[in-house]
């Protein structure tokens, strides 16, 4: 029985670490696929995974719940900041595209097309992405020179499928892993302040 409980807690500890590391590791793989360096997010994910797993494994039953809650908060904050930054960037990028109906680019603005990024939606005959006149990108650029989240969200949903996948899959994986850790910890059934290996 003790061996089974120990195994469940070890699986839960690994799940907590992996749940927090999902997003930085996803970014690391994406960076390496596009020819960039994924070292920084790879290391961040590894540090989070190892440290949170260790803290979870060595803590009391109550501290494990606190570690699980902290892991969820870290993931949510990281996701919100990262996704918000991506949406603002996509909003700014769309403001640089020429208007589909006229083919004219905004005056004094160089069109930005991110390399190795698939872009859905309308294009000019040259293959360059364009923005429908109804979006009034010139007006939007003057009102929101740094981009805005609402427009960025629409751009991600409609034009950047890679970003949409990043917004959906890592949170789903992290939610599953953290929920698994919670189920295993609840199944352990130890008192809230129960010692682990004789420690409190």
The answer to whether residue 190 scores a pLDDT higher than 80 is no
Cα gap 24→95, rounded to integer Å:
28
CB distance 24 to 42 below 8 Å: yes
Q: For residue 112, tell me if it sits in a domain.
A: yes
- Name the least confident of 27-41, 63-77, 134-148, 153-167: 27-41
Q: Is the pLDDT of residue 180 over 90?
A: yes
Is residue 9 one of the residues assigned to a domain?
yes
Q: How far apart are CA 76 and CA 20, in angstroms?
A: 9
Q: What is the average pLDDT score of the chain?
A: 88
- Beta-carbon contacts of residue 198 (< 8 Å; ≥ 6 apart): none
**Please, which residues have CB within 8 angstroms of residue 194's CB and are 6 or more apart in sequence?**
60, 61, 62
Q: And the tokens for 145?
A: 């020179």
User: With b meaning 16 or more CB within 10 Å and e meaning fewer, what string describes 109-134?
Assistant: eeeeeeeeeebeeeebeeeebbbeee
Q: Which whole number is the average pLDDT over 4-20?
A: 88
pLDDT of residue 31 exceeding 70, the answer is yes
> Would you say residue 137 has pLDDT above 60?
yes
118-133 pLDDT tens trace: 999 999 999 999 999 9
Q: Is residue 99 part of a domain?
A: yes
Q: What's the number of domains the chain is made of?
A: 1
**Is 59 part of a structural domain of the chain?**
yes
Task: Say if 200 falls within a structural domain.
Answer: no
- Of residues 7 and 170, the one with the higher pLDDT is 170
* Whether the predicted pLDDT of 192 surpasses 60: no
Q: pLDDT class for 2, splitting at 50, 70, 90?
A: low
| pTM attached to this predicted model | 0.81
Q: Is 144 domain-assigned?
A: yes
Give the mean model confidence (pLDDT) for residues 61-83: 92
Residue 84 lies in a domain: yes
| 171 contact partners, CB below 8 Å, separation of at least 6 | 75, 79
Give the SS3 label for residue 50. helix
Q: Residue 118: which domain range?
A: 2-188
Phi then psi for 94, rounded to 5 degrees? -60, -30
Q: Give SS3 for 141.
A: helix
199 inside domain: no
Residue 34 pLDDT level (bands cut at 50, 70, 90): confident
Q: How far is CA 200 from the centre of its chain?
A: 35
> Is 116 a residue whose pLDDT tops 80?
no
């Amino acid at each position: 029985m003790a061996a089974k409980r120990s195994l469940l807690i070890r699986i839960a500890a690994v799940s907590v670490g992996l749940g927090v590391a999902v997003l930085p590791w996803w970014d690391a793989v994406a960076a390496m696929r596009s020819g960039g360096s994924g070292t920084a997010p790879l290391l961040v994910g590894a540090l989070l995974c190892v440290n949170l797993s260790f803290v979870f494994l060595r803590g009391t039953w109550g501290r494990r719940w606190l570690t699980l809650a902290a892991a969820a908060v870290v993931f949510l904050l990281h996701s919100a900041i990262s996704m918000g930054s991506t949406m603002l960037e996509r909003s700014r990028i769309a403001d640089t595209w020429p208007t589909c109906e006229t083919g004219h680019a905004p005056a004094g603005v160089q069109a930005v097309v991110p390399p190795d990024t698939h872009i859905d939606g309308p294009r000019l005959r040259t293959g360059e992405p364009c923005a429908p006149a109804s979006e009034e990108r010139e007006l939007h650029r003057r009102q929101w020179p740094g981009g805005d989240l609402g427009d960025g969200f629409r751009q991600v949903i409609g034009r950047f499928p890679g970003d949409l996948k990043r917004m959906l899959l890592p949170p789903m994986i992290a939610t599953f892993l953290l929920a698994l850790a919670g189920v295993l910890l609840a199944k352990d059934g130890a008192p809230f302040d129960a010692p682990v290996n004789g420690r409190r």
